[in-house]
Amino acid sequence: MFRFPDGTFRQQLPSFITVGAVRTPTTGWTADQWDEKGYNEAITLKKEPFYTYTTEWVKGQDFIYREAELTKTPDIEAMKADKLAKIQAGKNAARDAGIIVNGTLFDTDSNARIAYLELSFKLSQDPAYSVQWKANDIGDWVEMNATLFNDLYVAFGTHLESVFTWQEVQSQAVTAASTPEEIAAISDVYGS
């Protein structure tokens, strides 16, 4: 990026400049030649998200303008909102990651939960119902019956309670946090 004589910033230097009525090509110009005409390389400050900065441009002895930080103010509410969204995503990922029941991984994503709901209806109509059931996307098959479904139901209920309790605890910690460091220290990954 380059700073132009009018104080604007652009991605490329001009291939020629016009001074008065003279149009001069700029190919091969050195940094000090560009500086004489008011053109300089410019390096922006790397800014963190959720902060408001006050900056100034400072020209170095190498003729490069660098953006310098004067103040850096955190937007605590935006940081909290971002962390809460990440916690929500972490809860969803944990809820949908599956659970182990009797040594077998069972899917718990939305499609699996719909299938379990349909199975519960079928079992309520016929408690002796049994079917070959694809437990997960890995390809494990089980004989699904009322006993295994009950074990799955209890395990999934416990899993959901754990995941939602984690989300509540993390969300309360975010609400109580008052500094960027406190917010950053709150995990948005279930189980960590």
Average pLDDT over residues 12-40: 91
**Burial tier of 90 (Cβ tally within 10 Å: 0-12, 13-18, 19+):** buried
pLDDT of residue 131: 97
3-class DSSP string for the chain: CEECCCCCEECCCCCEEEECCEEEECCCCCHHHHHHCCCEEEECCCCCCCEEEEEEEEECCCCCEEEEEEEEEECHHHHHHHHHHHHHHHHHHHHCCCEEECCEEECCCHHHHHHHHHHHHHHHHCCCCCEEEECCCCCCEEEECHHHHHHHHHHHHHHHHHHHHHHHHHHHHHHHCCCHHHHHCCCCCCCC
Picking from 2-6, 22-26, 178-182, which range would have the lowest pLDDT averaged per residue?
Answer: 22-26
User: Rounded to an integer, what distance in angstroms lies between the CA atom of residue 101 and that of residue 148?
Assistant: 8
What percent of the chain is predicted at pLDDT more than 90? 95
pLDDT of residue 192: 83
pLDDT of residue 74: 97
Query: Domain boundaries in the chain?
Result: 2-73, 76-184
pLDDT 10s digits, 95-124? 999 999 999 999 999 999 999 999 999 999
pLDDT of residue 188: 97
Q: What is the pTM of this model?
A: 0.79
pLDDT 10s digits, 30-89? 999 999 999 999 999 999 999 999 999 999 999 999 999 999 999 999 999 999 999 999
3-state secondary structure of 21: coil
pLDDT band of residue 20 (cuts 50, 70, 90) is confident
pLDDT of residue 96: 97
pLDDT 10s digits, 147-173? 999 999 999 999 999 999 999 999 999
In this predicted structure, the answer to whether residue 19 has a pLDDT above a threshold of 90 is no
